[in-house]
Structure formats: structure tokens, C-alpha cells
Amino acid sequence: RTVYVNGDYVPENEATISVFDRGFLFADAVYEVTSVLDGKLIDFPGHMARLSRSLGELDMAAPVSDDELLDIHRRLLSENDLVEGMIYLQVTRGAADRDFLFPEADTRPNLVLFTQEKSLIDSPLAERGQKVRSVDDLRWRRSDIKTTQLLYASWAKSRAHAGGADDVWLVRDGHVTEGSSNNAYIVTADGTIVTRHLSPEILSGITRQAVLQCARELQIKVEERPFTLDEVRGAREAFSTSASSFVSPVIEMDGMAIGDGEPGPVARRLREIYIEKSR
């Protein structure tokens, strides 16, 4: 695989980043994951707009212009002949002596991109439906910034996986915030889609935006508000969305079936339409 590091396209085993990189030492870094279908980037402008926002919130400089970012994405896709999968981008504040204070503003950010093949359309998990476990949302309260501080999400998901679940739904004050790396939704008994409203407590998903738009076009009622675990238990169906999983049904929470315990029609339909519109 060819990866991109600060202007160079190099074989992955020749790529280097300093051990003093603040992304490595402090998770002082932001990232984006853009999906690729049929060799094409999905929702690229949305991902880049969110990247700019994440950088701005952390007073980090953009390493290159938006036009250059598009060129880099395109070149990396073609270098690696990526047809279906993801492209990962990370910007760190750069390398500096280890200090909790941000370094001088002239520190050069590090920019890294790599591709990852993944079968997005044919997904056994989307076919079967995910089992989730509810856990306390112990992340910092700026989950709207897409930082690489992913330890809690990774730890919680891994523990849930060891216990037979596929993912976690994070809960704060009795209400679901989101999944480990996706936004969370239920469909109520009257057919309304409910997903948490945008706030610093969740990431504003690019897929979320597109899928809610699809739902409105299908004239499905959408409510953006917090929902409780009881509402999940009583829901007709549930699902999650992200760039790496599109729309993915959720069939069980904490060992209890949601609805009839099968992927629901709303999630399946939204998945189909989202894929259709994206290609």
C-alpha cells in the first residue's frame, strides 16, 4: 500500500512520523474517514467542512488547502486502485518537546492519509443486524470535534465484543448519545425516526445528515432529541449510521430483542436508498 505523509507518497513500511508527534503523545490530532464506492469519494465536501471545523475548534492550522486535499485523496485512491473501502486522513499539531502547553504556532502540522479496502455494500453485519450493549458515555464532552482520542470508544467496544455484542451505545443521564463510532437511531411504534440532536455531546455525522435527508424525502417523520434506554427497548426498530457502515440495523440491546429482533424495514430501506444516491 502507498500512504501519504507530508507531501510524499511512499510504501507504508517506509513512512515515518516523529516519536515526538503530539498526535502520538497527546492524541492532539483530528481525523476524517471518507468512504469510497466504485472508486469515488462519498460526501467529500461534507467531510472536509467538518475537518476545517475540528481544526478551528482546536486552534490548529490546516496543513494544505482544500483543493490540495482533494488532489491528495484522488491520487492516493488511484495509486492504490481502491474501488471500495475508506480513506483515512489525520492531522496532528506536529512534533514538539513534550509539554502540556501547545507548542509555538509555527510548529508544522503532520498530515497522513492511507486507504483501507473494505466491503461496504456486502456487509454480513448489516444483513444480520447488530447487537449492542449500553455503557456509560465516559468520553470528554466535546465529541463534536473529531479527535483521535478514541481509547474509551475502543476499550468499551472491545469489552462488549468479548461479551458477545457487536458495538456499544453510549449513555449519558439515561439517554443515548451515539455509538462507539456511529450515530444512533430508533424508530418508534408510530414510525417516527428519533436521533439525538446535534450538540457538543455527539459527532455531527456526515452520513447522519444524508440519511435524515433521505428519510424526509420518504416523508418519514424525524425527531432530533435525546431518547432513553426504555425507548430503545420499546422501539419498533433501531439502527446506526457512519461512513464505514452506511446504515446498519441494530436488533438487540443488552440481550433483549428490539422489535421482532430482525433488521427493520425502515433501516433496510434507508440503507438501500443511501447506497443508491451515493453511487
Residues tagged active-site: 146
Q: Report the distance separating Cα 114 and Cα 31, nearest Å.
A: 12
- Other CB atoms within 10 Å distance of the CB of residue 182: 25
CB nearer ligand PDD, residue 2 or residue 181: 181
Q: Give the chain's length.
A: 279
In this structure, are residues 31 and 60 in contact, taking their beta carbons and an 8 Å threshold?
A: no
**Closest separation in Å from C-beta 101 to ligand PDD:** 28
HEC per residue, 166-178: CEEEEEECCEEEE
Residues that bind ligand PDD (CB under 6 A): 33, 143, 178, 181-183, 203, 205-208, 241-244
The dihedral over CA atoms of 157, 54, 240, 171, expressed in degrees to the nearest 10, equals 60
Q: Report the distance separating Cα 141 and Cα 29, nearest Å.
A: 16
